[in-house]
């Protein structure tokens, strides 16, 4: 296997000042593996609170505030029942988790959740990498974000410009302009009035993501804002032994007052960077 060192990316100058992961004891007594006595990590973002379990990356960052909740940057590992936690560590705003399911794919996945400075309150960046010890393997992995919002506005950033498109339709599966984008373009989805009145912008590079879908669910009997599920697929369906693949997805959280401005800045920052290993 290749070494899988996670390097500093250029979305920010480093860990966000004042935002670090803090350990807390897990209250989940149903777990029977070696993870049962390990700590979870939590973070406070103003009146928002969140936690992350390195042993369960499929749960992502569980963020809540003002009677609303979201699940961000959840890594959907292949064959969850065969999943094996290999290693994990925390350094300031960086939390790393390494998993390798015990199945024929022999796919080692490393996830780095980084709390970073950005154009708004906070940017959380997921840097995801995979490699296999098999001669050939399926490298595809999905990342899910589930969150409420009163409105979702897509934007396309190419270099120094960002074009905002009409808001997403009010129901069903949405066809995003993904396959029509240039390789160096960034798709930004601005979720308005999501948590505690804040907006969230999720950004991904076209040359790092493979496919992306957005679903909306509205429950007529409930007054809450609609719930959205954004799924992004990364990496080829066929990868070879000894080749490291790496991609990223970022979530920026900020005030609704100027959300179009800071979301555009987040997308343009990502568009101006070189792609990671593909």
pLDDT of residue 241 exceeding 90: yes
pLDDT tens-digit map of 44-79: 888 889 999 999 999 999 999 888 899 999 999 876
What domains lie within the chain, and their CATH numbers? 22-271 (2.70.98)
**C-beta neighbour count of 236 within 10 angstroms:** 15
Instruction: Quote the CA–CA distance of 130 and 234 in Å, as a whole number.
Output: 10
Q: H/E element holding 267?
A: helix 259-271
Give me the phi and psi of 141, to 5 degrees please: -140, 140
The pTM of the whole model exceeds 0.85: yes
Where is average pLDDT lowest: 14-23, 92-101, 137-146? 14-23
pLDDT of residue 37 exceeding 50: no
Instruction: Quote the CA–CA distance of 13 and 5 in Å, as a whole number.
Output: 19
pLDDT of residue 11: 33
Q: Reduce the DSSP state of residue 12 to 3 states and report it.
A: coil
Where is average pLDDT lowest: 62-71, 163-172, 221-230? 221-230
């Amino acid at each position: 296997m290749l070494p899988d060192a996670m390097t500093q990316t250029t979305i920010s100058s480093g860990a966000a000042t004042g935002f670090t992961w803090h350990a807390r004891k897990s209250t989940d007594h149903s777990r029977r593996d070696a993870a049962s006595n390990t700590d979870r990590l939590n973070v406070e973002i103003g009146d928002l609170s969140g936690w992350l379990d390195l042993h369960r990356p499929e749960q992502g960052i569980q963020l809540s505030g003002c009677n609303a909740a979201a699940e961000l940057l959840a890594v959907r590992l292949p064959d969850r029942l065969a999943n094996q936690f290999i290693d994990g560590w925390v350094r300031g705003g960086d939390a790393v988790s390494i998993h390798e399911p015990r199945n024929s794919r022999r796919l080692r996945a490393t996830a780095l959740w980084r709390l970073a400075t950005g154009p708004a309150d906070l940017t959380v960046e997921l840097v995801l990498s995979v490699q296999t010890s098999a001669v050939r393997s399926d490298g595809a992995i999905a990342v899910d974000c589930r969150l409420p919002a009163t409105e979702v506005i897509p934007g396309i950033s190419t270099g120094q410009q960002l074009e905002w498109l009409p808001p997403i339709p009010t129901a069903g599966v949405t066809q995003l302009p993904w396959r029509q984008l240039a390789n160096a373009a960034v798709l930004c989805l601005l979720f308005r009035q999501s948590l505690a009145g804040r907006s969230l912008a999720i950004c991904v590079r076209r040359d790092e993501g493979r496919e992306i879908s957005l679903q909306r669910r509205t429950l007529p009997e409930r007054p809450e804002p609609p719930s959205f599920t954004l799924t992004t697929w990364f990496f080829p369906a066929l990868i070879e032994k000894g080749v490291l693949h790496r991609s990223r997805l970022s979530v920026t959280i900020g005030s609704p007052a100027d959300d179009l401005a800071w979301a555009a800045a987040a997308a343009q920052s990502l568009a101006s960077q070189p792609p990671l290993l593909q």
